[in-house]
Amino acid sequence: MFGATQPAPATARMARSGRSEWQSTCAILTSKVVSQEQSESLPIPPVSSGVDHVSAVNGNHSAARMNLVPIEKSDSNPLVLQQHRQKPLSMSDLSPAPKHGSNLRVAYQGVPGAYSEAAAGKAYPNCQTVPCDQFEVAFQAVELWISDRAVLPVENSLGGSIHRNYDLLLRHRLHIVGEVQLPVHHCLLALPGVRKEFLTRVISHPQGLAQCERTLTKLGLNVAREAVDDTAGAAEFIAANNLRDTAAIASARAAEIYGLEILEDGIQDDASNVTRFVMLAREPIIPRTDRPFKTSIVFAHDKGTSVLYKVLSAFAFRDISLTKIESRPNHNRPIRLVDDANVGTAKHFEYMFYVDFEASMAETRAQNALAEVQEFTSFLRVLGSYPMDMTPWSPSSSSSSS
């Protein structure tokens, strides 16, 4: 009546074929396991820490270092897993990465104690910071999967824009995924026992020197100003070389890390000294409309700056506020003659224009504005659409810098 149904001849052949392929696959896996055990019995050559770190990041461990599930043999079954097997993957293992910066590797330019490190900690609390000696290295650290994010300064309320990073934003293919504004509190640091009247020079990042220029003059310091790669690096340099005639402009945290004393606290020319940082990632984030967003673009036109008015009107017509306009020379075509016949004597610089505006790319008005901008420009690129930093602002203080 309801007995088992016999398979058709063709179905039976397919079942036997599938079973034979499965047995063949098992045989191949068995041979690989045996060779794996043999290779594990051989000594493993030492690997330098640098190479091992890169291979770990890229997932290129050798077979002997992959921590595979150990396999033992028995007479009844040649392949019996040990009782302590690896836990199978579950849906929780495939959940999104932890929020608030947990377990993220964040690259920044400078050494420990730099303001960029503080910005990375504010953007991604509990993250693992990765110091880089140059801005370009921070970009490449993300591109090569050594870091998950990069936090880099783009402008300061006193010193203006960090032009180097604007150029690097265009050169690399990373995406802006957020911003953070950090109050900057500068201190004059020196070795213990050094007095201000014995100083002959002050070193710091060019932005640090520019942000404290008037205060240094008011202090009566007739010293040379020398620029170095970063503020905390200046403090580290003084401590490493025991320079008793040199002071650094850096944070209070840098003084604590490198064993320096604070000769003067809060020497920035304005208490409202704020640096804006952007967070960069390999992939963009999905724009949303449930919170304030900002979008950054860069564009150019082969007919010069006459198109700028039309571009700005595309945003003004849709009531989109622009928060920044930055022009940088176009490195691909730096000079343009007055006329196309190349007979004129006057020349104009060709520019790339960087624009930040307060709207999300998920909004129709932003999409329509960029569609109109694209009609007027020869080059247009969206650098990122990301949440605005809405944290309450307060003047810089020693507590905020540390």
Choice among 275, 295, 353, 377 that is catalytic? 275
Choice among 135, 139, 277, 293 that is catalytic? 277
- Backbone φ and ψ of 115, nearest 5°: -65, -30
Q: What burial letters (b/e) apply to 76-86, b meaning 16+ CB within 10 Å?
A: eeeeeeeeeee
Residue 275 is among the residues annotated as catalytic for this protein: yes
Q: Which residues are catalytic?
A: 275, 277
